[in-house]
Structure formats: structure tokens, C-alpha cells
Amino acid sequence: MTIENRPNQINLFRGLAWFQGLYYFATGIWPLIHVKSFEWVTGEKTDNLPSGLEADHWLLMTVSMLIVAVSLTILMAAWRNTQAAEIAILAMLAGSGLTAIDVVYVLRGIIRPIYLVDAAVEIPLILTWLFALIAQQRAASVGTGRRANEMEQSAAKSPGTPFAQPSPSQSEPTTSFTGVKS
């Protein structure tokens, strides 16, 4: 990957952050706003059984708040055009965890198959984040290598820089380990 592709990497990273951030915000805020419609689509939740009150869905509310927190972090990265690897890792791990829960508990018959729609969204996101992260790391290593070569070439041309090799006429006497000047 070349440095010329960097704008495409920025667009991919930022686009992924906007998409996943908005998707997580919508799915995380939904049960906080209207539990009944969320349960109508995803199935009845039992985390409020002791009281039976809609306000007592403690587990649903906890998971929803965590998804909203992740979404806001990812959205802030998109807004600021931040390409930190930590954002990609957060997005991939959140997606992986939610996908694992979706698939395992649908297969066990605990949650409705509608959760597989979420898994179908998450899997391409995870893979695209992985691609974006690898591309970013490759571009950074290529860029670092080029910068180092440019610095070395520049330093060789101009004496007095840290990489410059002094010519014999510029050499000052040095003291060896034995204390003898050469």
C-alpha cells in the first residue's frame, strides 16, 4: 500500500466509524426509549421478573447503556477524524462479542432468530475494520521507512545532522578507550 492511498484509508476508517457508531447508537438507545417496541421485535425479556415492571429491566438497560457508550466513543472518533488503532480494536471486539452472543443464544433457542440480522451486520463490519487496521499499519510502516530513508539521504548531504557521516577532513581527533587520541 502506498502513501498515495492514505485518503482512501482515512475515508474507509471514518466511514466505518460513522456507520458502526450510528448503528450502535440506534440499537442501544432503542430499548432505553421504548422497551415495549424493542421486546415486540426481539422477544420478551425476563430480567425484570422479580417486580414485573418495565422500568426494572436492569440487564437490558445495562447492555443498552454500554452499547451507547461504545457508539459515542466510535462516533467521536468519526467526528474528529481520529484513526487510532484503539478505535478499530474497540469496534472489532464489541462486534465480535455481540455476534458471538447473537449466534450462540439463537442456536440454543434462548433468543429469537432476529438477532442473526445483527450478526449479519456485525460480521462484515468486523472484517472491514480488520482490513482497515491492517492497511493503516502497512501504510504507517511504508511511510516510516520512506521518512527514515529521506532523513538519511538528507543528512548525508548536509554535515552536522545526526545521521551525517563526517568526511575525513571534518573529523576531529577522537579518544579511544585507551585514552590515546587518534
Of all residues in the chain, the percent with pLDDT exceeding 70 is 73
Per-residue pLDDT tens digits for 35-53: 999 999 999 999 988 898 8
How far is residue 28's CA from residue 57's CA, in Å, rounded to a whole number? 14
Is 156 in contact with 163 (CB distance < 8 Å)? yes
Average pLDDT over residues 144-172: 58
**What pLDDT was estimated at residue 1?**
38
Is 91 in contact with 74 (CB distance < 8 Å)? yes
Closest CA to 66 of 105, 24, 103, 124: 24
Q: pLDDT at residue 175 above 80?
A: no
Per-residue pLDDT tens digits for 15-37: 999 999 999 999 999 999 999 99
